[in-house]
Amino acid sequence: MRNASHEAKLGATAQGGLGVHVRGVRHNFNGVNVIGHADVQVKSGGFLAIVGDSGGGKTTLLRLIGGLIAPSSGEIIFTAPSQRAANESASERMHATTAQRPAVGTRASDISFCFQEGRLLPWRNVLENVALPLELRGTPAQERRDAARDMLAKMQLSDSENKMPAQLSGGMRMRVAMARALVTRPKLLLLDEPFGALDEVTRLALDEELRQLWLDTATTAILVTHSIQEAVSLAQEVVVMRGKPGRTLPAIVIDVPKDAAHRTSMQFVALCERVYQQMTLQTHEVAGVAR
Amino acid sequence: MKNILRVALPPIFTAMALLVAWEIAVVVFKPAAYLLPSPLAILRAANIDSRQLLNATLSTAISAGLGFVIAAVVGMVCASVLSQSQFLQRGLYPLASLFQMVPLVAIAPLLVIWFGYGLSATVASAAIVAVFPVLANTLDGLRSTDPGLRELFRIYNANRFTRWWKLELPSATPNIVTGLRIAAGLAVIGTVVGEFVSGYAGENAPLGMVVLASMRSARTDLVFAAVALSAAVGFILFGAVSFLGWLSLRKWHASTLSR
């Protein structure tokens, strides 16, 4: 199932995120055109948010990028981080070139997903849930437990390692899901409405935690959300997806400093306003902006 | 401990009250002993023949237990195989359910022809009635695995065996426990039916034979005793399975958490 040479290329760069370039992607599902045209780019280690109407193809786009489904047409290109390559050994540097992958069936272990429902195994405790990706990859028991414990410690979840998912609040469950997504040290983190089901206070706290984790791990992150504020406060660039079939609009660069009070700054509000305007464009206007 | 008492006391009280009412009714109305012996009379008769009854109970319990284990293994293995292939499922599952419709009493003589008189025929009889609930419930459980979790395992490139062992089987545990609990009761019924047809007299005659022999000699008190003991065998098997099920689910499943 896996493309071995592709794996090798992706695996060669031990640190840093993957660059992703979605070029002219169109996708049909069961004869219905879900994505009309998607052009999205995120640089290595970047943070991109995709916002848009529900049912507008955001999640489908994320699944296409993650290789869970193959696009009907267009291509998705992955780029290994180039500036980091200088620090790597010579042999690794050779591989630090552009890697293209046919998205069908190839799920590189460098890509991690985080879903809204958390998707924890209810019969496993927190530690065993976090260790799951490593377990399925064949990592020895002690090694994967150590890695999971490290991740839990980093997220201040160590006290909960023996708890079962049913004993956790919704927010805690999402944090465990995040720990699981990050335990493999992914180079690309795909987040599908991760905090969509949480209350506002928890959501703000987890947004901040996610941002911190993204900074620490230097992974590339793509977040699908319906919250404009969440998108603008987390991402470096926001792409709006509109219409049926969905089309991506040109990215909006978020150049607001992300300090504690940034959510109330005039700049932040103005950027939210810009995203909002794109989200409320009439259908005929969408076609004009998108091309 | 308090919880156990709260659950156990009401049925115990009800049973005691019914037995007392029965005893009083027999004392008052004095029915013939071969029609309805009193609970105390049954107890006395059972005490006199305790050795034979104990052997019979043991023999029935062994046959029901073996039949149950065979049904559990065969049911779970078959369900696991069927769950991996739509083709097999469509071809075999309807036949399996049809098989369930054949009355056991009617095929019991066949079992005697194939297995001869004695333990193997009664074990087979127990296994045959007990296997279907295990198969059906396990298959249901395996098939209703959360699609989100399935996708998760797909993302992690888990192979078929890993997916079955680490995802589908654990997630089917509640259904499997349900199937096994039903099977526990059925295994005893299957055993006794088998004993009616293939049983044997003598030292280790099983409960089914005790019922038949006592009926022929109008020892209704012994019939009652044997019936009560076979019910007890079923109850113990059911209890053991329920306890194991509770052990495997207590930490995570809603059926055990909410209490």
Q: Could you tell me the end-to-end alpha-carbon distance of chain A, in angstroms, rounded to an integer?
A: 36
pLDDT at A266: 83
Whether A9 maps to a domain, the answer reads yes
By CA distance, what is B171's nearest residue in A? A123
Q: Give residue for tokens 């987390």.
A: A234
Structure tokens at B17: 């009250």
Q: Under 8 Å CB-to-CB from A131, ≥6 apart: which residues?
A: A144, A145, A147, A148, A183
Per-residue pLDDT at A106 exceeds 50? no
Q: Is the N-terminal amide bond of B39 cis, ω within 30° of 0?
A: no
* Residue whose C-alpha is closest to residue B83's, from B136, B143, B137, B141: B143
Beta bridge partners of A188: A111, A220
A119/A115 Cα distance (integer angstroms)? 7
Measure CB to CB from residue B152 to each of A119, A123, A137 and give the nearest one: A119
pLDDT of residue A92: 33
Q: Under DSSP, is residue A219 helix (H, G, I), strand (E, B) or coil?
A: coil
Chain A CB within 8 Å of residue B156 CB: yes
Nearest-by-Cβ selection for A166 from B153, B173, B257: B257
- List the single residue in B153, B154, B252 with the smallest CB-CB distance to A123: B252
Dihedral sign (CA A124, A126, A132, A134): negative
Query: Is residue A133 in some structural domain?
Result: no
Task: Tell me the pLDDT tens digit for each residue of A241-276.
Answer: 988 888 888 888 888 777 666 777 888 888 888 888
The ipTM is: 0.81
Q: Which helix (H) or strand (E) holds B126?
A: helix B119-143
Distance CA A90, CA B216 (A): 94
Q: Does B151 touch chain A if contact means CB atoms closer than 8 Å? A: yes
Is the Cβ pair A133, B156 closer than 8 Å? yes
pLDDT tens sequence across A13-39: 335 788 899 999 999 988 888 898 899
Closest chain A C-alpha to B76 CA, distance in angstroms: 19
The tally of domains found in chain A comes to 1
Per DSSP, helices labelled H in A183-265 are: 200-217, 228-234
Domain with A46, as residue range(s), is 4-110+229-290
Split at pLDDT 50, 70, 90, the class of A98 is very low
CATH of B38-251, one of 1.20.1250.20, 1.10.540.10, 3.40.50.970, 1.10.3720.10: 1.10.3720.10
What average pLDDT does this structure show over A142-153?
Answer: 95
Evaluate whether residue A31 is within a structural domain.
yes
Q: Which amino acid is at A291?
A: R
**pLDDT 10s digits, A77-87:** 888 765 444 44
Give one word for B202, left, alpha or beta, with left for phi > 0 and alpha for psi -120 to 50: left
Q: Using an 8 Å Cβ cutoff, are A190 and A220 in contact?
A: no
Domain chopping of chain B, boundaries = 38-251
What pLDDT is recorded for position A10?
39
**Cβ proximity of A9 and A80 under 8 Å:** yes
Q: Is residue A161 part of a domain?
A: no
Give which of A114, A119, A41 is closest to A75, Cα–Cα.
Answer: A41
B196 Cβ neighbours under 8 A, 6+ residues apart: B108, B208, B211, B212
Q: Is residue A54 part of a domain?
A: yes
Q: Does B253 touch chain A (CB under 8 A)?
A: yes
Q: How far apart are CA A62 and CA A50, in angstroms?
A: 9
Judged by DSSP in three states, B230 sits in: helix
Our CA-based measurement puts residue B179 at a distance from the nearest CA of chain A, in whole angstroms, of 19
Longest dimension (CA), chain A: 58
Residue A285 sits in a domain of what CATH number? Answer: 3.40.50
pLDDT tens, B13-26?
A: 999 999 999 999 99
Q: Is the pLDDT of residue A99 over 70?
A: no
